[in-house]
Amino acid sequence: MKFVEAQHAAAEHWDVVVVGSGFGAVFFLQKYLEHRPGDRVLVLERGRHNRHDWQLAFEENSDIEKTDVYARAGNDKEWDFTIGLGGSTNCWWGLTPRLHPRDFDIFTRTGVGADWPVRYDDLVPFYQQAEQTMMIAGSDELDAIYPGTKYVQPAHHLTTADEMIRARPGHHHYPMPTAKLSRAVGSRGRCCSNSTCNLCPTEAKFTALNGMQPVFSHPAVSICLKSTVEMLDVADGVVKSVKFSNAGRDYTVKCDLCVMGANAMQSPFIMLRSGIGGHGLGRYFGEKMLARIEVKLDGLDHFDGGTAATALNLSLLQEERDASRGSAVYIFDNSLYPGLRLDPPGRWRQTLPVEVYAEDLFDYDNGVFDEGGDRPVIRFKPWSDFAMRTLDHAMEALPGIVSALPVEEVGKPVIKPTLGHMQGTCRMGTNIENSVIDSDLIAHSTRNLVVVGTSIFPTAGSANPSLSAAALSLRAADRMWRQEA
């Protein structure tokens, strides 16, 4: 990797300046450099290069505290992310289901939420490319639900409970696709099922640091660390330069193309400070609700699977949404993170943790605001009635889903502080009246500004967002140069 000091970066004119280095940024660069390998690229990263051994030694993904980079106003909602080279590829848990075809036209189907300006079929070839890069382990059974699915590695070993559920005819219970190796590759080991996935000890989990070295080490790419982007200099609908601070000094770097790949807090904050237009900039901030349920088992020991989350159950995804509630997906957990069963003694493993991802509608009033300080201010109302009804419906269906097991009791759901899926503040759409960016991720008001990452999602969708963010970036970079050609 080629690291450059701030003063040297500012002395140059760059073809591309990329803000951030997480999923959206690094996958955009991967495809961009295929088309334009000679363009000079500068990556401005706010954090440090915290190597894998550093992260393990300090038991942290970053030396920057999350709560130091934003402020809350009237709420205590937690948000999870990592600042540092590679962004949240460092801290994610590697779950990679695709968005479902029906996730893309929710408004048309229900009259609530928003439609995406792209459809599932538009993303299939880019899902496939991202899955190849991440070396996803999964089952090709999912092709029946997510057409065009063929995984690089075999799925991880299921639990006994998973196999019992799958033995029932008509089940919708599948091995979880995951960016954690089920077979060792090179210096990267297979998943150890240790359930410390944010700090993967074997490097089975894909990160930008272990899986995107051809991008970070490309001869055209320079990286400037510990550089906080303050704003973009925009004139006549064009980004002319990027203003950033480093070690207490201010710098300006000129560019022809700017790629905004900070997270869903920082990207809109920078754009708001820069006077960039578009409906909902900074608004519609949200994520899916995460609820955890303990299913107590009678005589069946659990935790015999091959990875932290062994299966996803799509029973409710097969239903249509309606205007009153959204979709929900069940994650069957093989992780000891929720704890063993303590009562009665001796039945430590007779418990099955199940997680529910309950869809919520993004609310215009929830958002990232520029109030004149140096940090974004976050306002977030409590979970909506829509999300609560989605969770209630999932709880009503859960006993039937686990009925193949010897169940003693299905516990009550515990809503967790965050799922770690920040979304929605730079939403994509068809025009500047309903969105910030278009279907190619280009800002409506600023045509040399590309916005990438999970901030661009118009709705939460049913799945973990990282794979889809990667696919959208690949598509945007591909279309940019194919259209020009």
First to last CA, the chain: 30
Instruction: Please name the amino acid found at residue 401.
Output: I
Domains: count for the chain = 1
Is residue 1 in some structural domain?
no
Q: What is the pLDDT of residue 234?
A: 98
pLDDT confidence band for 318 (50 / 70 / 90): confident
Check which CATH number belongs to the domain holding 14 and give it. 3.50.50.60
By DSSP bridging, strand 221-224 and strand 414-415 are unpaired
Whole-angstrom CA distances from 113 to 322, 386, 424, 441, 457 are: 11, 11, 12, 20, 11
* 211 neighbors 132 (Cβ within 8 angstroms): no
Q: What is the pLDDT of residue 74?
A: 84
**Residue 280: left (phi > 0), alpha (psi -120 to 50), or beta?**
left
Q: How far is the C-alpha of 259 from the C-alpha of 47, rounded, in Å?
A: 17
Q: How far is the C-alpha of 352 from the C-alpha of 336, rounded, in Å?
A: 10
Q: What is the span of the domain harbouring residue 218?
A: 6-484
Interval 8-20: pLDDT, tens: 999 999 999 999 9
Is residue 224 in some structural domain?
yes
Longest dimension (CA), the chain: 71
Interval 284-293: pLDDT, tens: 999 999 999 9
Share of the chain above pLDDT 90, in %: 96
Interval 98-151: pLDDT, tens: 999 999 999 999 999 999 999 999 999 999 999 999 999 999 999 999 999 999
* 374 neighbors 69 (Cβ within 8 angstroms): no
Interval 332-376: pLDDT, tens: 999 998 899 999 999 999 999 999 999 999 999 999 999 999 999
Share of the chain above pLDDT 70, in %: 99
Q: What is the pLDDT of residue 285?
A: 98
For the chain, what is the mean pLDDT?
A: 97
Other beta carbons within 10 Å of 250: 11
The string of DSSP codes covering 265-321 is THHHHHHHHTT---TTTT-S-B--EEEEEEEEESS-----SSSSEEEEE-TTTTSPP
The whole-number average pLDDT for the span 20-31 is 98
Tokens of 271: 């754009």
* 305 neighbors 159 (Cβ within 8 angstroms): yes
Tokens of 221: 């790419």
Q: How far is the C-alpha of 468 from the C-alpha of 470, rounded, in Å?
A: 5
Q: How far is the C-alpha of 313 from the C-alpha of 171, rounded, in Å?
A: 8
Q: How far is the C-alpha of 141 from the C-alpha of 162, rounded, in Å?
A: 15
Q: What is the pLDDT of residue 222?
A: 99
pLDDT confidence band for 170 (50 / 70 / 90): very high
Q: What are phi and psi of 459, to 5 degrees?
A: -135, 165
Q: What is the pLDDT of residue 179?
A: 99
pLDDT confidence band for 482 (50 / 70 / 90): confident
* 393 neighbors 316 (Cβ within 8 angstroms): yes
Collapsed DSSP state (helix, strand, coil) of residue 4: coil
Interval 251-303: pLDDT, tens: 999 999 999 999 999 999 999 999 999 999 999 999 999 999 999 999 999 99
**Interhelix angle 23-35/120-134, nearest 10 degrees:** 90
Q: What is the pLDDT of residue 484?
A: 64
* 281 neighbors 260 (Cβ within 8 angstroms): no
Q: What is the pLDDT of residue 337?
A: 86
Q: Is pLDDT of 485 > 70?
A: no
